[in-house]
Amino acid sequence: MLSYRGIPPNAVTFGADGLTIGVDRSASPVIHPLATPTRVVGLRAHGRVTGRLESAPDRQGLTGHDDFALRIGLVEAGSRRPSFIQRRLAAPWIRQLFALAPPGAGIEQIRFFNLGVAASQIGWTRRHPLSDLLVEEVVAVPDAAGRFQMDLTLAPIETVAVWLAADGDDTGSRFTVRLESLTLVSEAR
């Protein structure tokens, strides 16, 4: 698990009931490299959020509110590779991202599919202001009991890794996410 400089990491556990991420004013990703690049055409996930992310729908994603209970990211293969100097100066998470590329290849971006806090946010998209490597879309929200489900059909994304993130560092939020199931649907070859 990777951690960000100056931000406490999440508490992460793997169990029979799924992946549990405990957020206590913290943030850190869970990264799973795929054995081989895979053309992903669908994503299915379900789980539950316990507790509350402290952000209003009209503020979420803005400075001081750039937290999401869950971001499911597909790391997309591409031709972008950092130069020698960029590799030396880049933040550890950027070096880790490019290390996921197959030998001789690069990374295009991470396509994140996020949980918002209100249904009015579904469909909201952006290229992250801190890095053009991050593209986000809010695709679901938890129901009143905290349950969530994503069932997405996607244009093919040549995927080399899955990048899971839950964060509450900007908003001082405390909550737990249990990802009970995550399935990538691949294109038949």
Asked: is 11-186 a CATH 1.10.260 domain? The reply is no
Please report, for the chain, the start and end positions of each structural domain, with discontinuous segments joined by +.
11-186
Residue 54: pLDDT above 70?
Answer: yes
User: In this predicted model, what pLDDT tens digit does every residue of 104-142 receive, in sequence order?
Assistant: 788 899 999 999 999 999 999 999 988 888 999 999 999
User: In this predicted model, what pLDDT tens digit does every residue of 131-183 receive, in sequence order?
Assistant: 888 999 999 999 999 999 999 999 999 999 999 999 999 999 999 999 999 99
User: In this predicted model, what pLDDT tens digit does every residue of 59-110 receive, in sequence order?
Assistant: 998 888 999 999 999 999 988 777 777 767 766 777 777 777 777 788 899 9
Cα 120 to the chain's mean position, in Å? 20
Q: Output b/e per residue, 16-53; b: 16+ Cβ within 10 A.
A: eebbbbbbbbbbbbbbeebeebbbbbebebbbbbebeb
0.85 exceeded by pTM: yes
Which are the contacts of 47, defined by CB distance < 8 A and separation ≥ 6? 18, 70, 147, 148, 177, 178, 179, 180, 181
